[in-house]
Structure 1
């Protein structure tokens, strides 16, 4: 990636070619305009406003002669776990502003299980300045373009008979969810687990969600949980409701699992564009080659 213009000889093994590349890099003998500076960054999508724990490595490369300031480029985190924990304390805005209708017993259980925060710690103080992590409950209630547009409640009948719920595409009940050791469900008041493509497109445990109603009958499974709908999963990936997927349920879930969360992609795409603007690469066609 650092030397994309150095062609591999047709008779050379990749090991031979790699040795050549390493020597060129060590000797600093390739023109700046023909090599790239590459950075790898570990990110958690939840830190950028995605209602999902999704740890990934983002790889970004700029041509070396552009002189991009890497410290200025790297997108700053906008959300934090500490902030959402604080907002969930008794009387906090998570309950008084976002989710006023959550049953009292559910709210009490969530609050009782919150970890303690060290409010004197400087790192904690800095994290509390950020916005709260968004949760699965937030996604279902509606965020960003879907703000104020909660998804209709999925009934037991809809789960049993695979019925569409409301007039929103891909919001269809699905029976047979299971939970067991190593196959635990998402909880509503935390970012969702990583959406995965699954084996041959079949959703795994990450597609199951624990419900407020412990008596909810999940047809073909147990009580108190069900499969997430495709639309709920799309919201966890921060796709707007106007985004329509194609194919059967398993294929749609595979597409979502293989995608990059929209908000995470947007954060880094904007950062790349801003970095190129800062060095005039978007205005000067010669710098874009």
Structure 2
């Protein structure tokens, strides 16, 4: 099945779709460092993506009409909790280009992701506007029409039950990457749409991992510590919440079906100890200067990692450090961050430590993207049979 990806970044979403069975006819990205990463992995034959380094606003999507899947993660800064929250007023708002790409390619399915800040109450009306535009991409905003008036017109069309030609059935959900096998608590909003002529009968995939299963693994059976050969003296003291959950789990008669959340220790397991002076593995070199202070305490090694962040002015230290059980901290290496984002070890990141970490902070965890894309692929395949 054929796919086109907008705002590819370092390639997390595209990798997830590729691993689900989609073949990319076109991948678009404008950031030079992210493009260098994609080119490097193309050259290494890890991927084979036709890359277009360009401003999406100047790109003609019509030659790709009839594709199976359109994917993309529009710039999240307009809606990020860590951003300036300008939303629709932010010049980086690229949802209009997403809608244009849908209109010009008419894909059988659409898969868009963004930060959970998109669901903030301050953006509720604009989010509804985005969803309605995806539903009816051919009802275009007029030159003399503001977005509120356009939203009203879309709402009137939706309630009138009139046919607009190209239409989509749209659903969305906030997903946590840790629930799908990533060693990181990273919540992202996924919008999935199927063209109205597709018999979809689709819903988001159920989680495969859970926090409760991790607590059971650590504080009920102790299998986690034995698996990692962590002696009792080097284990952390369980929190009040962990103790409460463990006691409840001990009394449950129903077994936990999900696998345990993966921890930072799980994610980086098997990597050699990083050094400051040289790489001991690809993209695996220590960055000095990590320190802990209020609000920047790192990700505890025996918990699912905190959300990696890109940062507008350098790398945010608190989210991009490991907090060891003795209280010491150090920065995650590029490779360790890639592990938390579930990129394969052979996938190489170009650019300085800061630029590579920015690419990773903006990326979609590959396993999360794959879980959604795999279910979309299965649905499209059923519709063809």
TM-score, normalisation: structure 1: 0.80
1:121 & 1:75 partners in 2: Cα distance?
29
Within a 5 Å distance, the mapping from 1:19-38 to structure 2 comes to 19-31=152-164, 34-38=166-170
Contact 2:168 2:193 in 1 (8 A): yes
Q: CA deviation at 1:90?
A: 6.0
Q: CA deviation at 1:177?
A: 0.9
Cα 1:203–1:163 shift into 2, 3 Å: farther
Structure 2 match to 1:217:
none
Contact 1:152 1:165 in 2 (8 A): no
Contact 1:196 1:204 in 2 (8 A): no
Q: CA deviation at 1:209?
A: 1.1
2:192 & 2:330 partners in 1: Cα distance?
39
Within a 5 Å distance, the mapping from 1:135-284 to structure 2 comes to 135-141=263-269, 150-154=270-274, 158=275, 162-166=276-280, 168-212=281-325, 224-280=328-384
Cα 1:270–1:90 shift into 2, 3 Å: closer
Q: CA deviation at 1:87?
A: 0.7
Q: Secondary structure at the match of 2:243?
A: coil
Structure 2 match to 1:134:
262
Count of residues in Structure 1 that have an aligned counterpart in Structure 2: 250
Contact 1:90 1:111 in 2 (8 A): no
1:175 & 1:264 partners in 2: Cα distance?
31
Contact 1:40 1:57 in 2 (8 A): yes
Q: Secondary structure at the match of 1:40?
A: strand
Contact 2:170 2:194 in 1 (8 A): yes
Structure 1 match to 2:206:
76
Q: CA deviation at 1:213?
A: 5.0
Q: Which has the higher strand share?
A: 2
Structure 2 match to 1:99:
228
Q: Please, which runs of 5 or more residues in structure 2 have no aligned partner?
A: 1-133
1:21 & 1:113 partners in 2: Cα distance?
46
1:11 pairs, out of 144, 147, 152, with: 144
Cα 1:25–1:107 shift into 2, 3 Å: same
2:339 & 2:249 partners in 1: Cα distance?
32
Q: CA deviation at 1:115?
A: 2.8
1:15 & 1:275 partners in 2: Cα distance?
34
Cα 1:275–1:262 shift into 2, 3 Å: same
Q: Please, which runs of 5 or more residues in structure 1 have no aligned partner?
A: 142-149, 215-223, 284-289
